[in-house]
Structure 1
Amino acid sequence: MSKLGALRDIRRFRFWGMFATHMFSCVGLIAVLFGLYDVLEPNAISKIHFPFLLAVLLLAALYAAIRSYPRPVSQAYSKPNTEIRIVEGDLFSQEDNLVIGMTTTFDSQIPHVIHPHSIQGQFLHRVYSNDVAALDIDLEQGLAQHRPIGQIEKPGKKTRYATGTVVTIQHQRKHYFCVAYGEMDEANQAHATMDGIWRSLENLWREVGARANGDPVAIPVVGGGLARLSQILPAQDSIRFIAMSFIFASRHARICDRLDIVVRPEDVERLDMLELQAFLKSLQDV
């Protein structure tokens, strides 16, 4: 976690609630120890002066600060045996296998159909060096095992596949899980629904479990931006959505050793990392 991120979280009420809890617990423990000492040495406590009491309070405050200070958000689970981390950074700089969000037409042409700065646009640029033909060949090979559900008249690709269709591409020793959670309309505007995203994640986890061999997988925050769900599924809720789906799926079958949810630096400022840490911890009891 960056220094700016830590300073942001320190300003939140949750941090000060944790700080107060740890400080009072430390003071309470010291008070109990003093009580036991008073039993062994009667009237000894009455001789303690203010500077010593101040030192006790400072020690308790230091302990509380150390325990409450924001740290990178991660949570390990024993059942299932996996881990979830929230990572600030660039998706394509991760060493993990990657999840690439796409639409049900699996369009690849930029800039008129796919925005160059979208995950799909970066995928084409940074993994395929803008070779659209090579990407289309790999997508078509993966789509050969899926049955189309219809056609749509629009610029770009016109064949539609079911929401939640997953195409796995193995490229440069990585697996790229291309999952279609959004749909294009006739004007090439991408849309998605929460139900469609949930079903897409279910299909994604099955594919990851079958193809990733347990290796870590990184996924971007889904549902916002071009999917036009940012108003009802902001980044904070999207992360919880992804994590909950992953844990539910992991209860039924092993998916991977670790899931990294990658957040763009410009989105981190809007997140409450302490709340997300508390949420990930609560999933142990799901």
Structure 2
Amino acid sequence: MQLKRDLRNRRFWRSLATNGFAALGFLSAVLSLFDLFSPNTLGKLNLPEILLLPAVALVYAIWQSWPYPVEQHYSSPDTKVKLVTGDLFDQDTNLVIGMSDFFDVETPHIIAENSVQGQFLSRVYRHDVPALNSDLTSALAGKTPVETAVVKPGKSTRYALGTVACIRRNRTHYFCVAYTAMDQNNNVSTTIGILWEALGKLWDEVRSRSNGEPVAAPVIGLGQSGMSTILPIQDAIRFLILSFMFASRQQRVCEELIIVIRPQDEKRIDMLEVQDFLQSLKKS
């Protein structure tokens, strides 16, 4: 269980001790000053200070050290990053959808049904492939293909990696970003360099199209792209956060990035480490 793992985490106990002793010292100093300026008042209250102060300090330390919710607000720029466990498509905000450079959508032989892209087709478009293809074609109308008439199953027009097709449907923006290259057998791959560049272009599109509204994204690169061996989930989360923060410091992207963790992946993530990482970006 996540709770048991957090309790075994040295980060938690180190933070608990630091915050606990800090709170205990602060409370002791306050009570000493109070007793100095108002002698005998505390004695009349008959408070068990010896037990009360550690108890209050412990409660404060737990509150400060517990990693939930995992989120951080930044004043410069005015933005927020938050991790939640749940379903990407249950988020009431704009969404990021990862795609290949062909923007294929058909399942199950080209796109996996359980992938984010496959769920996008089934849950948002109710398996209506022509409707999704039509919206993608409209969104890509201003984009120049890098290759056409490619012989392969599915679509035959390739776009540059990092191309973003922004679809607006039912008041939600879906930022479909091409961060994987698909070969003639519909196998996909990418690299850290491509992924970084694609995310940079994604944030540019979010900045210009979202009107500052929050955007939710899955952990990029965990599917069929082959990145999971190079970029494990903990590193992938940091990678996504760094990309967003670097872009935000150049120019504010949006008011909040929500990174959605699948429930089955939560046990693989050290939430305390992620919270420390978010806080370290605030200090830098």
Residue in structure 2 matched with residue 70 of structure 1 by the alignment:
67
| 1:61–1:161 Cα change, 3 Å | same
Residue in structure 1 matched with residue 233 of structure 2 by the alignment:
235
TM-score by length of 1: 0.88
The answer to whether the 8 Å contact 1:215/1:256 transfers is: yes
Q: CA RMSD in A?
A: 2.3
The answer to whether the 8 Å contact 2:28/2:53 transfers is: no
Aligned residues: 275
Q: Secondary structure at the match of 2:144?
A: coil
Measure the CA separation in 2 of the matches of 1:59 and 1:277.
24
Given candidates 178, 186, 189, the residue that maps to 1:188 is: 186
**Where does the alignment leave 5 or more consecutive residues of structure 2 unmatched?**
39-47
The answer to whether the 8 Å contact 2:67/2:275 transfers is: no
Residue in structure 2 matched with residue 206 of structure 1 by the alignment:
204
Instruction: Note if 1:90 corresponds to 2:64.
Output: no
Kindly provide the amino acid, as one letter, of the partner of residue 98 in structure 1: L
Q: Secondary structure at the match of 1:145?
A: coil
Instruction: Note if 1:278 corresponds to 2:281.
Output: no
**Where does the alignment leave 5 or more consecutive residues of structure 1 unmatched?**
42-50
Instruction: Note if 1:110 corresponds to 2:107.
Output: yes
Deviations 1:160-187 (A, max 9, x none): 1110000000111111000000011222
Measure the CA separation in 2 of the matches of 1:176 and 1:188.
23
Residue in structure 2 matched with residue 134 of structure 1 by the alignment:
131
Residue in structure 2 matched with residue 259 of structure 1 by the alignment:
257
Measure the CA separation in 2 of the matches of 1:40 and 1:77.
39
Measure the CA separation in 2 of the matches of 1:285 and 1:186.
47
| 1:56–1:77 Cα change, 3 Å | closer
Measure the CA separation in 2 of the matches of 1:140 and 1:17.
53
* Aligned counterparts, 1:8-27, within 5 A: 8-27=5-24
How much has 1:24 moved relative to structure 2?
2.1
How much has 1:52 moved relative to structure 2?
6.3
The answer to whether the 8 Å contact 2:16/2:62 transfers is: yes
Measure the CA separation in 1 of the matches of 2:27 and 2:74.
33
Residue in structure 2 matched with residue 44 of structure 1 by the alignment:
none
Q: Secondary structure at the match of 1:225?
A: coil
TM-score by length of 2: 0.89
Measure the CA separation in 1 of the matches of 2:88 and 2:270.
20
Given candidates 141, 157, 160, the residue that maps to 2:158 is: 160
Measure the CA separation in 2 of the matches of 1:32 and 1:142.
62
The answer to whether the 8 Å contact 2:203/2:244 transfers is: yes
Residue in structure 2 matched with residue 217 of structure 1 by the alignment:
215
How much has 1:76 moved relative to structure 2?
0.8
| 1:39–1:190 Cα change, 3 Å | same
Kindly provide the amino acid, as one letter, of the partner of residue 63 in structure 1: Y
- % same residue: 49
| 1:195–1:55 Cα change, 3 Å | same
